[in-house]
Structure 1
Amino acid sequence: MEVDEVVRLPRLSRVAVCGGTHGNELSGEFLAKKKSRRRRSRKTPPRQSLNRCRMVSLSPRGPLPGAVPYEMIRSRELNATLGPKGSPGAVELVCDLHNTTANMGLCLIAYSDCDWICLHIFRHLQASAHSGKINPKSYSLDSVGKHGFAMEIGPQPHGVVRSNVYAAMKAGVQHMLDWVCFFNSGSTFEGEYVDVFTMIKHIDYPRDRETRKIRAAIHPQLQDQDFCLLHPEDPLFQTFSGETLRYKGDEALYPFFINECAYYEKGIALSLARKRRVMVPAIRVQTERERQAHMEEEEEE
């Protein structure tokens, strides 16, 4: 692909902004409720965490035996409403709103480093963006749409809402929607390199061999230093007896989700990423003639 080639992409006619996927992350829940009230009054379903059931309920497997919990039913409803995942009828863009207890600021997470829609939105928001490993079998909510990403904002304790974090999320969502309007109106977005952070691995807390209980916390010099380069031999953990445990990796990497509350049960103290540059081509929306020609080409194939 030539660097100056303009990629034509379908119009983003339907955009879903989702909040409250995890029931104790309140900024997205309050923001989604506020925006939905502007459109129409509707009964809000009970707030539940869909964290543990999304992988199963959005997967192509059949129903599980026994009683089906509410969270799984709700996940299947969301998949039917926004998708079904992978179908031509899925919404064009899903933005799933989340809070983190880690000091990550406004961070955008995608499952691909070649989704030009998401990467151009990342550029537009001028925020720290990192992409997970390419994962075509992801079953998170933002993967249901044809394009999708999660917006993580923190630090904010789970179960509370901080006005500055809520304001940052509100501004981020509005900038995203503004970009969609610009794109749909026919604006051309020039190609450019974008820095992304690709997740490499997770690190667990040091644990007792027999009891598996945590025996150290994040080192004070590392706490709240999300996306700051961690070099080999830098302080990583501090045991409860005061001993410093150092990072023994072979290369300097970028930590994120440092000391995230929800990840204790997953055995993750922090994740490490490698920073790299991705060339994002220029894009613009398809004209009706181009869309028809594309459909005819697909039918011929």
Structure 2
Amino acid sequence: MGGKGTMNAPDLILDLHNTTANMGVTLILSQKDDALINICSHIAMEFKGVHIYLQPEKREESPYLGTIARKDVCIEAGPQAHGTLNAELFFKVEQIVFRFLELIKGGLPKVNGEIETFRETRNVDYPRDKKGNITAMIHPNLQGRDFCELKAGMPVFTGFDGKEILWEGETCYPAFINEAAYYEKGIAMSLTEKNYISL
């Protein structure tokens, strides 16, 4: 498919992922691109439960398939256990991919107004002991509440002894909460800030 930044790089890759987190269908953009944001905005307005997630990163350093192309969108769908099939998610993602391709080819009109987006700011690990063992789990009040507001004083983890750990950080909107594939990466959740982009 060609190296990054070469003449052989494809114009666009739609990279399909599943997640164990309750993120619905999330369109992840690795770069701020007005045309892609416009297309994603149309999809977010047409399909219920679709989020736009901005994850700015240096393309030459990114390990993700999509960054081989000049432009990319990662489509995350969940919650879905890895190695399983979920008919509802399958058909929804299929519809979104087909609609995406229609919008690219169709010379779509620009969306007027503002669109809600979530920009990744940082990752948070689980509490751990000195040996690196996890000592707490995602609190039940936070589990499954991806893209919901988390404010200081709200419970975020619960220890194996049942003791609550309260959030002491900034107001944010966590995503990838309790993602199974992220345990080995030391990520309990990714924090985002909610913004409205004028189109």
Please give the TM-score of this superposition, normalised by the length of structure 2. Answer: 0.91
Supply the AA of the counterpart residue of 2:16. Answer: L
Supply the AA of the counterpart residue of 1:149. Answer: V
- Which residue of 2 is the match for residue 118 of structure 1? 36
| CA distance, structure 1, for counterparts of residue 186 and residue 4 of structure 2 | 29
- Which residue of 2 is the match for residue 180 of structure 1? 104
Q: Relative to 1, partners in 2 of residues 1:239 and 1:258: Cα closer, same or farther, differing over 3 Å?
A: same
Given candidates 16, 20, 39, the residue that maps to 1:97 is 16
Given candidates 86, 91, 97, the residue that maps to 1:167 is 91
- Which residue of 2 is the match for residue 74 of structure 1? none
| 1:278 CA drift (Å) | 2.3
Secondary structure of the residue that 2:39 maps to in structure 1? helix
**Partner deviation per Cα, 1:70-117 (whole Å, 9 max, x = no partner):** xxxxxxxxxxx2x3321233221110000000000000111122x122
| 1:190 CA drift (Å) | 4.4
| 1:279 CA drift (Å) | 3.1
Matched-pair contact (CA < 8 Å) for 2:14–2:66: yes
Secondary structure of the residue that 1:274 maps to in structure 2? strand
| CA distance, structure 2, for counterparts of residue 267 and residue 273 of structure 1 | 17
| 1:191 CA drift (Å) | 5.0
| CA distance, structure 2, for counterparts of residue 244 and residue 218 of structure 1 | 10
Given candidates 137, 146, 162, the residue that maps to 1:242 is 162
Q: Relative to 1, partners in 2 of residues 1:88 and 1:117: Cα closer, same or farther, differing over 3 Å?
A: farther
Matched-pair contact (CA < 8 Å) for 1:124–1:175: no
Does residue 228 of structure 1 match 2:151? no
| CA distance, structure 2, for counterparts of residue 267 and residue 234 of structure 1 | 22
- Which residue of 2 is the match for residue 141 of structure 1? 65
Identical positions, percent: 36
| CA distance, structure 2, for counterparts of residue 155 and residue 98 of structure 1 | 11
Supply the AA of the counterpart residue of 2:181. Answer: A
| CA distance, structure 2, for counterparts of residue 265 and residue 89 of structure 1 | 34
- Which residue of 1 is the match for residue 139 of structure 2? 219
Matched-pair contact (CA < 8 Å) for 1:227–1:254: yes
| CA distance, structure 1, for counterparts of residue 193 and residue 174 of structure 2 | 9
Given candidates 271, 279, 289, the residue that maps to 2:198 is 279
**Partner deviation per Cα, 1:143-195 (whole Å, 9 max, x = no partner):** 11111010000000001111111111111111111111212xxx442454322
- Which residue of 1 is the match for residue 121 of structure 2? 200
Larger radius of gyration: 1
| CA distance, structure 2, for counterparts of residue 147 and residue 194 of structure 1 | 20
Given candidates 148, 156, 160, the residue that maps to 2:80 is 156
Matched-pair contact (CA < 8 Å) for 2:38–2:111: no
**Partner deviation per Cα, 1:8-55 (whole Å, 9 max, x = no partner):** xxxxxxxxxxxxxxxxxxxxxxxxxxxxxxxxxxxxxxxxxxxxxxxx
Given candidates 269, 272, 280, the residue that maps to 2:188 is 269
Secondary structure of the residue that 2:121 maps to in structure 1? strand
| CA distance, structure 2, for counterparts of residue 128 and residue 156 of structure 1 | 17
Secondary structure of the residue that 1:89 maps to in structure 2? coil
Secondary structure of the residue that 2:174 maps to in structure 1? strand
- Which residue of 1 is the match for residue 47 of structure 2? none
Supply the AA of the counterpart residue of 2:7. Answer: P
Q: Name structure 2 gaps, 5 residues minimum.
A: 45-49
Secondary structure of the residue that 1:254 maps to in structure 2? coil
Q: Name structure 1 gaps, 5 residues minimum.
A: 1-80, 281-301
| CA distance, structure 1, for counterparts of residue 34 and residue 72 of structure 2 | 11
Matches within 5 A, 1:248-267: 248-249=168-169, 251-267=170-186
Supply the AA of the counterpart residue of 2:64. Answer: S
Please give the TM-score of this superposition, normalised by the length of structure 1. Answer: 0.61
